[in-house]
Structure 1
Amino acid sequence: MSVAVLAAGVSCEEADRRVRGVLSVWPVRAAVVSTRADSLTRLRGAGEAEAFVRGADCLVVVAFGEHAAPARRRAASISREVGLACVLLCDEPGEVEADAEGVFVTLPRSADDRTVAGVLAGLNAAAASLKDAKRRGELLERVNASAGKQLEAMHEEMQAAAILQRELLPQRMPEVQGLNFAAISRASSTLSGDSFDVVQLDDEHVGVLVADASGHGIPAALTLMLVSKLLPMTEVHSSGVRILPPGEALTRLNNAFIDRRGDVHILVTAAYAVINTRTWSVRCAVAGHPAPMVVSEADLSEAVVLDAGGPPLGVVADVNYDQCERELKEGDVLAMITDGFDRALDNLCGHTQLSENDGHVRRASDDALDELPIGSYERALLHHVRAISASARHGNDAVSLEEGVERFAHELTMQTGSLHQGDDITLVALRRVRHQSAADRGVDQAAGGAMKFGRTDRHAA
């Protein structure tokens, strides 16, 4: 242990002897004890005293007479500057003072060596703790500053990725004669785990994909980009282009996804539908996803779910996904959603006060329509899809479909906790237009080109 000694109004030798007496009764045995003494009055230059004591473990200042007051001020300044425990011995009997940090104490000249040694040892331990805390604080500040910069960079990257992800969603729905479209997509965080796409495959076919990846953030978003890229919608032959049936498309997608996803094991569900605008048949295949629902304008109390069943993508290779088919009559609405609506629709059930007998849901199969027990989720979805469908009974189809979806989106926004929704929400709705006169079709075509953009919602008619 090294002790720096500064003397004022007393010789350096006398001050050093006093300090050696103190060290002789030091409460903790030190391996090496050394002292170095100098005159405080001699070290008048800027920083000279600080340079002298730097490297010592503690400081003792011995000042008598008229030198005591100025010595106290300098000793306190040196102690704070260098961060040393310091004891000032002066000839004012009975004076004991401590600074706010507790590492500088003034003791009377008459204090015995054991008292001085005990006080100095305690101050030395306190000063060491303060130094350690200061170092930790400085390190924490640097870490926080670095982490803050990294978080800011990550935030900027996430925002850029979110913008890109939104741009990859359909910016404008295809203009298909006899069909109107509307969609909403809301992310629960910066990046969404939902995706949808509407593609005109040829003059007579439209493909609609809705997919949902487990989780949120970059992995889920990139996985959905991979799924969208891998989905085969058409196949080119020498004789022309073949539209792949939804079941075959999901079967191929599942195998390609397993081959290409690498070590990333994110659960992906999807529903894929192909609409033939000549025959007005809707064929649909589902991979662990909420089944699309068709509500008829002729009977708004009944809905048909297009659920052929099938596991999520990437679970089992070489799965043959089945598909089901349904005719889309004039005024019928097809709704395709992600499972984020489960919670949202359950919440909305309490506000709509639906009856247990409020509608019927049936499942479309290859040869029959099977009656399903209607639960709160199906009842709520039926209620709101029915409201969307009913809105088109007045006015032109294009505007009414969009308004119906907007009202649905407004109800979701107004429900409690909508600002902090637990999951991503996506809805794609399409409606077969009723037979119209040429004048009415002109109105619809004008409305059909419009599209509203927002941070989280996309609408098209």
Structure 2
Amino acid sequence: MNSQSKILIVDDEPFNVDYLEQELEDLNYITATAVNGQDALEKIVSESPDLVLLDIMMPIMDGFSVLEKVKADPAIRNIPIIVISANNDLQSVVKGIQLGAEDYLPKPFEPTLLKARIQSSLEKKHLRDMQDLYLKSLEREMNIARDIQKEFLPAQLPDVPGWEIASYFEAAKEVAGDFYDAFTLPDGTLTFLVADVCGKGIGAALFMTLFRSLIHAASISDQFSPGQEQKSLSPAERLQHVISLTNNYVAETHEESNMFATVFIGILDPVSGKLSYINGGNEPPLIVGKDGKVHTTLTRTGPAIGAIAQAKFTVKETTLASDDLLVAFTDGIPDTQNIDGEFFGNERLRELLMNHSSPTQLLNEIEVDLKQFIGEAEQFDDITLLAIKRKAS
């Protein structure tokens, strides 16, 4: 703690001010003075003292008014204030403490008590200042992590002739465990996915970057191992390669972490509308026809990836017809809760899909409905949604 702390003395009695100045200077503190409440407020703002000794009874503005204004201002509310009051005025002391004063000093002043209470208040301020510095440093680090993580999400979605694609992503915290991706391969097919890494916070966010990088890198590679000749893979072969490689790497290399991710990944032929997919423990995506009804649910075809080494994943196929809309999402949507503890649920989502227009408009409607539903409740989980629609031919 800095022995050269600055203490502001606020008192309209010159005798009290002179006494306190002498005592504090003997204790190696820097002093400043104010003769009334208004003067005190101006000096608290301009000089940022480390501590304020505040008399209760003063002209122009009393000590209670000063306390109320200081504690209402986020910029100065953490400056500790010790109220000064006569020994027989306990009611004023109690009111001062209720308004946010750190401590009190009775008049007439007793030097040992004066020293002890000032030191105690300054030590508490020092600890708060250190905590604030740590929290600000942590906030900066979290903001950096959030910005880096954003780079793992697509800067823009691919433009595929005859198709509309839109996404909605809302992290619950600074960093997320959810992610999505969409990109075209050299043969013109579209690879897309949504995924949710187990857990919350930094751990989930770190593994999110691992899962996403493995999946993306394996998806665009036709080479199974170094030195092996390049070959063209069918969508089913590619999906098996991508998911098996990612699953086995995480499960075997990071076995002790017990981290896994639910994933829906598909490869779409934009000409025929044929979709090959693996659903590794994710919420089943929905396919909505032009009549607004859900006519296909893409159920799970394997476990979450990273949970079981050498797990088997089945590739399934379906076809998106003209005006069909596919909606893939993580469990953050149905599991969203409002302030009454009610879940958003799958049925509410299905109702929103019945009057779908374009994917972008649909996701805007879902976003508005979700935020209205959440209201004042805290968003507990990341929310990720990807919508793909085949335009009418």
Partner Cα distance (2:272, 2:279) in 1 = 22
Counterpart in 1 of 2:378?
Answer: 420
Partner Cα distance (2:330, 2:240) in 1 = 19
How far did residue 250 of structure 1 move? 1.8
8 A Cα contact 2:239 2:315, kept in partner: yes
Counterpart in 2 of 1:408?
Answer: 366
TM-score by length of 1: 0.56
Partner Cα distance (2:328, 2:173) in 1 = 21
Partner Cα distance (1:294, 1:328) in 2 = 8
8 A Cα contact 2:152 2:212, kept in partner: no
Letter of the 1:335 partner, please give it: V
Counterpart in 2 of 1:41?
Answer: none
Counterpart in 2 of 1:303?
Answer: 295
3-state secondary structure, aligned to 1:235: coil
Q: 2:146 aligns with which of 157, 162, 181?
A: 162
Partner Cα distance (2:337, 2:87) in 1 = 67
Using a 3 Å threshold, how does the CA distance of structure 1 residues 152 and 263 change in structure 2: closer, same or farther? farther
Counterpart in 1 of 2:222?
Answer: 235
8 A Cα contact 1:287 1:313, kept in partner: yes
For 1:77-97, what per-residue CA distance to the aligned partner results, in whole angstroms no more than 9, with x for missing partners? 7666668xxxxxxxxxxxxx9
Partner Cα distance (1:414, 1:241) in 2 = 48
Using a 3 Å threshold, how does the CA distance of structure 1 residues 279 and 206 change in structure 2: closer, same or farther? same
How far did residue 132 of structure 1 move? 5.0
Counterpart in 2 of 1:315?
Answer: 307
Using a 3 Å threshold, how does the CA distance of structure 1 residues 143 and 296 change in structure 2: closer, same or farther? same
8 A Cα contact 2:334 2:346, kept in partner: no
How far did residue 301 of structure 1 move? 2.6
Letter of the 1:275 partner, please give it: L
How far did residue 267 of structure 1 move? 4.0
Counterpart in 2 of 1:377?
Answer: 345
Higher mean C-alpha deviation, range 153-162 or range 329-338: 153-162
8 A Cα contact 2:292 2:353, kept in partner: no
Counterpart in 2 of 1:285?
Answer: 278
Is residue 187 from structure 1 mapped to residue 145 from structure 2 by the alignment?
A: no
Is residue 216 from structure 1 mapped to residue 200 from structure 2 by the alignment?
A: yes
3-state secondary structure, aligned to 1:207: strand
Counterpart in 2 of 1:150?
Answer: 134
Partner Cα distance (2:262, 2:210) in 1 = 13
Using a 3 Å threshold, how does the CA distance of structure 1 residues 254 and 216 change in structure 2: closer, same or farther? same
Q: Which ranges in structure 1 are unaligned for 5 or more consecutive residues? A: 1-71, 84-96, 106-122, 352-375, 392-399, 436-461
Aligned ranges 1:27-46 → 2 under 5 Å: none
Using a 3 Å threshold, how does the CA distance of structure 1 residues 164 and 76 change in structure 2: closer, same or farther? closer
Using a 3 Å threshold, how does the CA distance of structure 1 residues 82 and 415 change in structure 2: closer, same or farther? same
Counterpart in 2 of 1:325?
Answer: 317
How far did residue 346 of structure 1 move? 8.8
How far did residue 268 of structure 1 move? 2.1
8 A Cα contact 2:286 2:294, kept in partner: no
Counterpart in 1 of 2:67?
Answer: none
Number of paired residues? Answer: 295
How far did residue 330 of structure 1 move? 1.1
Aligned ranges 1:440-451 → 2 under 5 Å: none
8 A Cα contact 2:282 2:300, kept in partner: no
Using a 3 Å threshold, how does the CA distance of structure 1 residues 345 and 273 change in structure 2: closer, same or farther? farther
Using a 3 Å threshold, how does the CA distance of structure 1 residues 179 and 80 change in structure 2: closer, same or farther? closer
Using a 3 Å threshold, how does the CA distance of structure 1 residues 76 and 433 change in structure 2: closer, same or farther? closer
Using a 3 Å threshold, how does the CA distance of structure 1 residues 134 and 329 change in structure 2: closer, same or farther? same
Partner Cα distance (1:75, 1:432) in 2 = 84
How far did residue 315 of structure 1 move? 2.0
8 A Cα contact 1:346 1:380, kept in partner: no
3-state secondary structure, aligned to 1:272: strand
Is residue 204 from structure 1 mapped to residue 188 from structure 2 by the alignment?
A: yes
3-state secondary structure, aligned to 1:308: coil
Q: Which ranges in structure 2 are unaligned for 5 or more consecutive residues? A: 1-15, 28-85, 89-103
8 A Cα contact 1:181 1:431, kept in partner: yes
Aligned ranges 1:446-461 → 2 under 5 Å: none
Partner Cα distance (2:275, 2:390) in 1 = 11
Using a 3 Å threshold, how does the CA distance of structure 1 residues 80 and 246 change in structure 2: closer, same or farther? same
How far did residue 141 of structure 1 move? 1.9
3-state secondary structure, aligned to 1:172: coil
Using a 3 Å threshold, how does the CA distance of structure 1 residues 81 and 415 change in structure 2: closer, same or farther? same
Partner Cα distance (1:296, 1:206) in 2 = 20
Q: 1:274 aligns with which of 260, 267, 271?
A: 267
How far did residue 133 of structure 1 move? 4.8
8 A Cα contact 1:76 1:104, kept in partner: no
Letter of the 1:324 partner, please give it: K
Q: Which has the larger radius of gyration?
A: 1
For 1:224-273, what per-residue CA distance to the aligned partner results, in whole angstroms no more than 9, with x for missing partners? 11001112214236353325443442222111112344754444221111
8 A Cα contact 1:340 1:424, kept in partner: yes
Letter of the 1:256 partner, please give it: Y
Q: Percent identity?
A: 22
Letter of the 1:338 partner, please give it: T
For 1:354-375, what per-residue CA distance to the aligned partner results, in whole angstroms no more than 9, with x for missing partners? xxxxxxxxxxxxxxxxxxxxxx
Partner Cα distance (1:401, 1:148) in 2 = 44
